[in-house]
Amino acid sequence: MEIRVVPARQGWQWIVEGFVLFRRQPLVWILLLAAMAVIWIASTLLQPIGPLAISLLSPIFLAGLMNACRVTDSGREPDISHLFSAFRSHAAPLVTIGGVYLVGNIIAVGIVFMIAGGDTISALLAKNRTEADVATALRGLSMGLAVGTAVFMPVVMAAWFAPLLVVFHDLTPLAAMKSSFLASWRNLMPFTVYGAAMLLLWILASIPLMLGFVVLLPVMACSVYTGYKDIYPQHVTLPAAEDLDD
C-alpha cells in the first residue's frame, strides 16, 4: 500500500479535522466513548481476566470506532452498534493485533521493573527513607521508564493504524502492523507534533474536573481516522447512500 509522507504540521491538523468530524455528531460520539469507558471500567472489576480480555479486544473496539468515523465522514449518523461491528467481520485478526500489543506491553513493563529494581516502589514509600534512597530509586525508575518506553514505542507504531488496515483493506495482521509501523516511522515528525499537542490537550482537559475528556476522547478517536486518511491516499470512503451492512 502507498504511504504518504506529510509535513510535521499535519500532526496538529489531524486533531483539528478530528474535532470537525466529532462536531458533526457530537452527542452520538459522546455516547460511543461513554459506552467504551463503561466497558473498560467493567473490565477492571473482573480481575485478573478483565484487563487481559480488554487488551485483546481493544483493537476490535477501535475498529468499530473507525467504522463509526467512516459513517460520520460519509454524512450519515453512526450508532452504538458500530462500536461492535468489527466483531462480526474481523474478530480473529484484530485479536491477534491485540495479543501482540499485550505481549509488547508486558515485556516493556518487565523491562521497567528489571532496570528500576524490585525494591524501587518500596524505597519510595518507606517511612524511614532517606534523600539518597529516594534519589537512587528515582534514577532507577527514570532509566527503566526510558528504556521501557523505547522498547514499547515500535509496538504502538505497529498497532496505530493496523485495525483500520485490517477492516478497511482486509490486510493480514502481520501486513497491517508492518504497514502501520512504516507509516508511523516515515511520518515521525507529524506524529511527534501530534503527541505533543495531545499531551497538552490532555493536561488542559483534566483541569476542570476532567470534564474536558468528554470532548477530547471522541476527538482523539476521530483523529486516528483523519490521520489514516491523510497518510493512506487510497483510503476507503463510504458513499453517503451506503451503509456498512450493505
Among candidates 19, 85, 74, 5, which has minimal Cα distance to 220? 19
Assigned domain for 35 exists: yes
Alpha-carbon distance of 6 to 54, in angstroms, equals: 33
Assigned domain for 78 exists: yes
| pLDDT confidence band for 111 (50 / 70 / 90) | confident
Assigned domain for 91 exists: yes
- Mean pLDDT, residues 224-239 taken together: 84
pLDDT computed for residue 245 by the predictor:
43
CB atoms within 10 A of CB 35: 14
Among candidates 227, 228, 102, which has minimal Cα distance to 166? 228
How many separate domains does the chain show? 1
Assigned domain for 5 exists: no
- Mean pLDDT, residues 66-79 taken together: 93
Q: Which three cell numbers stand for residue 182?
A: 512504516
| pLDDT confidence band for 175 (50 / 70 / 90) | very high
Is a pLDDT exceeding 80 seen at residue 240? no
Assigned domain for 2 exists: no
Q: What is the pLDDT of residues 125-172, one digit of tens each?
A: 666 666 676 677 677 778 878 888 898 999 999 999 999 999 999 999
Rounded to 10 degrees, the C-alpha dihedral 200/82/88/220 comes to -10
| pLDDT confidence band for 187 (50 / 70 / 90) | very high
Q: What is the pLDDT of residues 5-62, one digit of tens each?
A: 999 999 999 999 999 999 999 999 999 999 999 999 999 888 888 888 999 999 999 9
| pLDDT confidence band for 241 (50 / 70 / 90) | very low
- Mean pLDDT, residues 174-196 taken together: 96
Alpha-carbon distance of 167 to 170, in angstroms, equals: 6
Q: Which three cell numbers stand for residue 134?
A: 529516594
What range does the domain containing 148 cover? 10-231
Assigned domain for 182 exists: yes
Assigned domain for 1 exists: no
Give how far Cα 110 sits from Cα of 43, 49, 67, 101, 117, Å: 22, 19, 34, 14, 10
pLDDT computed for residue 163 by the predictor:
96
Is a pLDDT exceeding 60 seen at residue 246? no
Assigned domain for 215 exists: yes
